[in-house]
Amino acid sequence: MEADGIVEGFLKSVEMHGLKYNRLIGDGDSSVTKRLHEISPYGRHFHIKKIECRNHLMRNYCSKITALSKITKYSLRVRKYLLTNILRFRSDVTKAVKYWRNTNDTNKAQKIKGIQKDLANAPFHRLGQHTNCDSYFCNGSNLQNTLNLVPEAENNGIMSEIQNIMSRLITNAESLLENKNNNICEQFNSIINKHTGGKRINFSGRRNYNTRVEAAVIDFNSKNFLRLIHKKHSNGFSPGKFGKKFINNCHRIRSNTIKRRQLFPETRKVPKMKTSGPDADYGMAEPLLETLSPEQMEIKKTDFLASLQRANVEQIEIDTREQSECDKWFQERRIRLTASRFGHICKMRKTTSCKNSVYDVLYGSDIHSKAIQYGKDMEVVARRKAERFLSKKIYACGLFVDKEIGYLAASPDGLIEGTAIVEIKCPFVARDTISAVEAVHKKLLKHCFIDQSTQAVQLKKESVYYYQIMGQLYITKRTKCYFVVYAEKWLHVEEIYYDHSFWKSKMEEKLKTYYMKCLLPEIIDPLYPKRLLKSDIREPDYICKNINLNKK
């Protein structure tokens, strides 16, 4: 309901206020962002950026530090220090952000990088290690006699957990810099709740609400009928024959249920039903109207492709070097097919429907799993280790757009000199292994294998990562990729060279066909946002034909 209300506000913003909103202040609920991404109220080219509420970020940070301090497998001294200095950990964050917010001689990107650097160092500073503290952050000369708990925290593993908790704040450094909150919404919601308790009664009177909560606690813990309360309200009368029968029946059912669950534990997991949008099979969806005719579609396709070819690809690369921190990076990606998708598309069977893949490309929201967050957090460390290993500088880059096929694009993790790119992977499942060979033997690096002749770890050519690298090399017009796989105890670097025959035989035509037949029609004339049904996404004739032949 919350998502529906916010989406309706965006849809009517131009009509009611003459405004288009390009920012949303949220509280960590991804369903709202996902729905806005699906609906695209202002069109596919308009990117709505989410700013995380400052209060929710800080509350979440303190809650996780508090929870970490109660895990008994870690050092007691460090845990006690964490618990007694929660507000100081928070203060380190707020003071660093305040300093950079008030700095006038730097641009926004530099401020964000400064905040990220200070936040990464903040746990070390608070635990007594000040080697990386800047003068504005602390005066290390006055703290020489303080206890340094960092070595102890690193030895028992709690330091890495603290860094993982801090990584969410580092990722949301821009939101902290914006210094926004949704207090006004929370205040309004509290007033609504005050007057709609049970939708009938105002429970804000003295001890009224608290008494009901306390009664619920007693009821939950005792699992018995509250006889004293009943007699108090009924002037001392017993519940009566039928009341007692009902109470005994409830007790019997509850007792039997507990015994059955203890004797025969439930092993079957019932899958959670996923519902989003109306149900087309039960009359909950409006009929799909106002689709373009084939002639109109072809005209729009031609115009759109011509606009892509007119784009200044060199300027796009320069303007998008901040990548995910840049709005233009999102805007340019949404109308093109990027290299990270190449493998999944090229390996699709001829009989596989394109509806799900089109939905994922155009409407799928960012996945926020622990593994993906770990990869993002470790990429900076991996880049630094790779530079040291290769003795070469890795330069940041933006979105490369192919000059010949204007709807293909790629964002490598970095560039080296004039002929090489860098692609970095930090697999979460292999983080505790001691070498790449061990990770492959344990089947934790499923995209790699060990060459029997050289005993070297290599990337499989059928891996989606190999397709991604071939696409990046073709689009960037470079000949070599340094494929970097990083874990905390090891670093693996493989040199992969561009294979033109692989690109021509296994990738180029499939990508062109997919974009022109599957993706482009939905970009030109989007059908999914009208009823939020994947089934509305167009299926090209050649896939329908293959599906029908397969059924026979």
DSSP 418-451: TTEEEEEE--GGGTT-SSHHHHHHTT--TTEEE-
- Predicted pLDDT of residue 196: 46
d(CA 122, CA 116): 10
- Residue extents of the structural domains in the chain: 2-53+182-186, 54-178, 205-263, 294-544
Residue 96 vs residues 121, 125, 135: alpha-carbon distances, Å: 10, 12, 12
Helices (H), 196-341: 208-222, 227-233, 240-263, 294-309, 313-319, 327-333
d(CA 525, CA 546): 24
- Predicted pLDDT of residue 192: 55
d(CA 444, CA 438): 9
Please say whether the beta carbons of 306 and 434 come within 8 A.
no
d(CA 516, CA 181): 43
- Predicted pLDDT of residue 195: 47
Please say whether the beta carbons of 469 and 423 come within 8 A.
yes
CATH architecture, range 294-544: Alpha-Beta Complex (3.90)
Residue 90 vs residues 27, 55, 96, 318, 322: alpha-carbon distances, Å: 18, 11, 10, 36, 27
Q: Which residue, chain included where needed, has tokens 């070498």? A: 435
Could you tell me the sign of the dihedral formed by the alpha carbons of 428, 332, 25, 104, in that order? positive
Instruction: For residue 306, give the amino acid letter.
Output: A
Tokens describing residue 200: 């009938």
Q: What's the Rg (C-alpha) of the chain?
A: 29
Contacts made by residues 455-464, CB under 8 angstroms, sequence distance 24+: 456/494, 457/485, 457/492, 457/494, 458/494, 459/483, 459/494, 459/496, 461/502, 462/347, 463/343, 464/342, 464/343, 464/344, 464/347
- Predicted pLDDT of residue 108: 86
- Predicted pLDDT of residue 293: 79
Tokens describing residue 498: 């561009």
From the first residue on, what is the mean pLDDT of each consecutive set of 10 residues in the chain (552 residues)?
A: 79 88 79 78 79 89 92 89 92 92 87 90 90 80 71 87 86 88 73 52 62 66 65 71 83 86 69 58 55 83 90 90 80 89 93 91 72 80 91 92 93 90 92 91 91 89 95 94 92 94 94 93 86 86 89 74
- Predicted pLDDT of residue 373: 76
φ and ψ of 128, to 5 deg: 110, 5
Please say whether the beta carbons of 466 and 449 come within 8 A.
no
d(CA 397, CA 401): 12
Please say whether the beta carbons of 487 and 262 come within 8 A.
no
